[in-house]
Structure formats: structure tokens, C-alpha cells
Amino acid sequence: MKVFLVAFLVSVLAVDCSAKMNVLFLVSDDMRPELASYLGPDFPSPVHPKMHTPHLDTLASKSLLLKRAYVQQATCAPSRTSFLTGRRPDTTHVYHLSSPYFRDVGGNFTTIPQYFKQNGYLSVGMGKIFHPGKSSGHDDPISWSVPYWHADRSFWKLSHRNHSWLSIKNASVLEHHPLIDQQIAQHALETLRRLAPAAKSGKQPFFLAAGFHKPHLPFIAPEQFFDLYPRDDINLPDNEYAPWGMPPVAWSNYGELREYHDIAMLNATGAINSTLPPGVVKDLRRGYYAALSFTDSLIGTIMDELAVLGLAENTIISFCGDHGWQLGEHGEWTKHTNFEDSTHTPMMLHIPGKTDEGIVTEALTEFVDLYPTLVEAAGFPPLELCPEENSTQVVLCREGESLMPLIDNPNTSRWKTKAFSQFPRPVGIMGYTMRTDRYRYTEWVKFKYAPKYKPAWSALNATELYDHINDPEENNNLAVDSSSRSLVRELSKQLHAGWRRDLPFQRN
């Protein structure tokens, strides 16, 4: 039935789009930039084994590789809603996994897949692109040309919450019960094969989005991916305790991890400066690396199939995580913070004919930049900047900058100098954080929700300042040091001025 439905829509929606490139939109969950292509100062930890990510490294070698890309909020629903609409959380009004549908509380915004659908593309989605649930209206049906597809979770749901990590040693189990991400990859291959003839002939370009669940908890992967990381090669983080001078509001007690039965049995509290047993830390880190390499292998099968089908020269490939992840650094786990390891995640963009030789940039970039970039990369006119006041009634606009200028000049001075993120706390406080070339500066302030959705800057709860030249692991909060007062005042002004005042045309 699905085959006939896709074939029918291909014929119905067919338009003369011979000049348009296809778009393959790949997303991974909870992936920090622990890829071999990120080795160097932008790698998330100085203590790590050799990473096995050959397929994403190959993609990076022919892409615009964004070494310093930051999400707008380090948790799934807010982050995905933000980059899929090109709007920041204070515009989408999605701050939590359980937030109401963004079209109800933010605005009837045109999403990335919806934009391509409206411009003659067949928009097909599978896996985890939007965060499933009410914040996306259950995968935002209006964004897709065909019904959204999810893998069968019935078998693997049995192990959910039982094990924080699991190495699958029995190949016959996987043969009869493929892992969720294996099912997604297989569905992506089958879909590409169905769409290829019309795409190659120029009759019907496609926007195909495939979202992988790993390396999200639980860290489940076939045994061969654990074998890539011998346990003796796994090290503990070199900074297992909270930053000196860190305010308690900055901390997350990593309840997401503590819900797993094997972790719950340890009676871990998630309290500041409490740590998990060393052996458990090593096992979790190893499981994360294995799940990441497993994801890399699945993405490799899709890219290989793209080449086999003759679509590689006419398909834009976008890959990104949805936020970073903490692997015991500071004794912290998962995301849900404003630290570097939570907000920093991989992003790369391959545009045939433009990035084939590989372009690496250290420019500060944000995930809201992805939407306007894909629009321009596909040959459509640039999106207009959203108005400063009441953009909720504007269905199509951007709150980021197109990355296309970085392809021509990855070191251009006409680019933003800051990246902005935020995270809410249950006590009516919002943490606003600003990453500059050298510093991460954060203010935790009272936040006014509906109808204004604005911070009360004068109601300051706590401040953080980390110097990434002298302290790249964010171990010392300089905001509590009196010698940093003038720097704090200057950075505070820049944070309050916000992202609009950092746009290139505002600075020059």
C-alpha cells in the first residue's frame, strides 16, 4: 500500500523541477561532536579513545564543516522545533518536551520540510525529526507529502529503562528484530529506491528526512561496535566535579539517566559533586561511543545507496545532531544545561559543486542558521529576517543567518560574533547563555511566560563566566571573581542586546 501511495503522489505532485537539487536531511539524537573530523580544540573532551566515525568523516571531507555550531536549547523538543522553524525558543514558545504544539502557542510557522513541500518537492519523513508528541502536533503532519513513518518499537521497548547500555551479541536476534535505527535506515534505503527514477529524470525532486535515535539512551548497539572501544581504552573524565563557583541553578540532576534500572539501583542522587562509580562511568562512556559509531555506520549505508542510485551529484546532504551530551564531565550527564558540552553539536552541509573539496570554518554558528541555508542552497530566494516585534503572525521568515557566505569565505569578518542559547528551570528562571570567540557568559534571570515571553534582566539569580582560552573545559566560574567585574558588565550588555544586535549589518 505504501509503495502505491508514494508512486501516486510522485505522479500527482510532479512538476518541472529539473534545476532543483534533492535534499537528504539527516539528524542524530544526543550527538556531541565526538567525531574524528572534529579532533582538535573543538572536540568535547581531551580524554577519549580513537573515534571510529569513517562515514561522517567522509561526509565532512566534502561538506561545509561547522566546527562551532550551537543549538538554541539543549533538549529535544525545543531544539528541533527551533531549527525546523528557523525561530528561537522565545518565538516558538516550546521550552519543554511536554510543551503545547508550536503552531498553537508560537505561530503557524512554515517548517523546513513544509517549505520544500510547498515548492514542489515530495517531502518524506521517518524516524525522529520533530520530537514526537504534542509539542510537534505528533510530527507536524502538514510538513509531509506522505504519512510520517516510525519504526516498530514493540520488541525493543521491552528493554527500555532496564539497561542504560546493552551490547547485542546474538546476530539472530537482530535478524528477526532489527534495532529501531536499523529499521529507519532500511526504510530510508527503500524510499530512496522508489523516489530515484522521478528524481533523476528531474520530474520530482525530494526532501527526505531521516532521524536516528542514537546515541540517545539507552546505548544499545550490535557487539561489533562495542569491540571498536576496548574497555581498557576507556578513561574517566579529567574533570569529574562541578565548576568552581558554579551556581546551583546551572546544575541538572540528570534524572533521564537515573530512571534506568541499572543506574537507579546505585541510589545515585544526581546531586552536585556526587559521582557514579568509576566502572559505571567507563561502561556508559563506552556504550555512548559504540552507539555513536553504530549511527555512523547506518548513515554510511544511506550515503552509499545515494551514490549507487546516481543521486549523489544532485542531492544536498545536511547532517546535524539536536544538541550535545555530557559524559560525566563535571560529574554531569545527559543535556539540560547551558554548558558547552550540552549546547555544542555537529553540523555539516554538503552542496554538490560548492563544497566538494571540503570547507572547514571556526565561525560561531547557530542551528537557526540551517533553515535559510538550505533554502538558498536549493536555489530559492533568501528568506527575510523576522520582524523584531510580533513575528508570530509571519508564517515564513528567519531568525538565523544563511551559512552560504562561509562557503565563499569561511573566515569572513562579516559574520556573527556570538551564539545564543537558553535553558529554563522549574522555579520560573531562564538561563540565557552567550558564546563568544573566547567566553561563555550566562545569566540566570526571572522569566515572564505568556503573554510576553521575555526575561526580567533586573531580576538576576546567578551569573557564570568561563574563559575558553585558559579554561576550555569550563572548570572555573570567573563571574564570582571581583577582578572580572568590568568584563562581566560588558558581556552582560551584549547578552541583553541579543542576537539581533550581532547581525553583520547591525555591526557595520
Q: SS3 for 63-96, per residue?
A: CEEEEEEECCCCCHHHHHHHHHHCCCHHHHCCCC
Three-state DSSP at 487 gives: helix
pLDDT: which is higher, 10 or 143: 143
12-57 tens-digit pLDDT:
444 344 459 999 999 999 999 999 999 999 999 999 999 999 999 9
What amino acid positions are annotated as catalytic residues?
76, 131
Q: What is the pLDDT of residue 1?
A: 41
Residue at grid coordinates 571531507:
61
Please, are residues 154 and 253 in contact by the beta-carbon 8 Å criterion? no
Q: What is the pLDDT of residue 171?
A: 86
Q: How many domains does the chain have?
A: 1
DSSP classification of residue 331:
G
Task: Report yes or no on 474 lying in a domain.
Answer: no
Average pLDDT, whole number, for the chain? 94
Task: Report yes or no on 294 lying in a domain.
Answer: yes
Residue 3 pLDDT exceeds 80: no
Task: Report yes or no on 6 lying in a domain.
Answer: yes
393-418 tens-digit pLDDT:
999 999 999 999 999 999 998 999 99
Residue at grid coordinates 520544500:
116
Terminal CA-to-CA distance of the chain, rounded, Å? 57
Residue 4 pLDDT exceeds 50: no
Listed as own residue / partner, the contacts of 270-279 with beta carbons closer than 8 Å and 24 or more positions apart are: 270/333, 272/242, 272/246, 272/248, 272/331, 273/241, 273/242, 273/331, 274/331, 275/240, 275/241, 275/328, 275/331, 276/328, 276/331, 276/333, 278/236
Q: What is the pLDDT of residue 172?
A: 87
Q: What is the mean pLDDT of residues 87-114?
A: 97
Residue 103 pLDDT exceeds 50: yes
Of 55-64, 149-158, 183-192, 423-432, the least confident: 149-158
Q: What is the mean pLDDT of residues 115-132?
A: 98
Confidence of residue 506 (pLDDT cuts 50, 70, 90): low
Percentage, residues of the chain above pLDDT 90: 90
Task: Report yes or no on 467 lying in a domain.
Answer: no
225-244 tens-digit pLDDT:
999 999 999 999 999 999 99
Q: What is the pLDDT of residue 19?
A: 59
260-271 tens-digit pLDDT:
999 999 999 999
Residue at grid coordinates 555544542:
344
HEC string of 347-383 equals EEEECCCCCCCCEEEEEEEEHHHHHHHHHHHCCCCCC
Please, are residues 321 and 212 in contact by the beta-carbon 8 Å criterion? no
Give residue 140's region: left, alpha or beta (phi > 0; psi -120 to 50): left
Residue at grid coordinates 573566547:
438
Q: What is the pLDDT of residue 504?
A: 85
Q: What is the pLDDT of residue 158?
A: 59
Please, are residues 205 and 21 in contact by the beta-carbon 8 Å criterion? yes
Q: What is the pLDDT of residue 291?
A: 98
pTM above 0.75, yes or no: yes
Q: What is the mean pLDDT of residues 76-103?
A: 97
Residue 488 pLDDT exceeds 70: yes
Please, are residues 184 and 152 in contact by the beta-carbon 8 Å criterion? no
Task: Report yes or no on 78 lying in a domain.
Answer: yes
| Interior angle at CA 453, CA 270 and CA 491, nearest 5 | 70
For residue 90, the enclosing domain spans: 2-416
Residue 192 pLDDT exceeds 50: yes
Please, are residues 362 and 318 in contact by the beta-carbon 8 Å criterion? no
Q: What is the mean pLDDT of residues 452-468?
A: 97
Cell of 262: 541499572
Q: What is the mean pLDDT of residues 146-162?
A: 84
Task: Report yes or no on 489 lying in a domain.
Answer: no
Q: What is the mean pLDDT of residues 59-77?
A: 98
Task: Report yes or no on 204 lying in a domain.
Answer: yes
Q: What is the DSSP string of 136-199?
A: GTTT-GGG-SS--B----TTGGGGTTT-SEEEE--HHHHHHS--HHHHHHHHHHHHHHHHHHHH
Please, are residues 413 and 405 in contact by the beta-carbon 8 Å criterion? no
Compute the distance between CA of residue 441 and CA of residue 362 in angstroms, rounded to an integer: 19
Task: Report yes or no on 473 lying in a domain.
Answer: no
Residue 68 pLDDT exceeds 80: yes
Compute the distance between CA of residue 251 and CA of residue 431 in angstroms, rounded to an integer: 11
What's the CATH code of the domain at 289?
Answer: 3.40.720.10
Confidence of residue 80 (pLDDT cuts 50, 70, 90): very high
Confidence of residue 153 (pLDDT cuts 50, 70, 90): confident
- The amino acid present at 65, given as its one-letter code, is L
Of 71-85, 163-177, 372-386, the least confident: 163-177
Q: What is the mean pLDDT of residues 317-336?
A: 98
Which residues are CB-contacts of 20 (< 8 A; sequence separation ≥ 6)? 120, 121, 205, 378, 379
Q: What is the pLDDT of residue 508?
A: 43
Residue 11 pLDDT exceeds 70: no
Compute the distance between CA of residue 63 and CA of residue 361 in angstroms, rounded to an integer: 11
Using CA atoms, how far residue 348 sits from 143, 259, 319, 400, 475, in Å, is: 23, 33, 5, 16, 29
Q: What is the pLDDT of residue 208?
A: 98
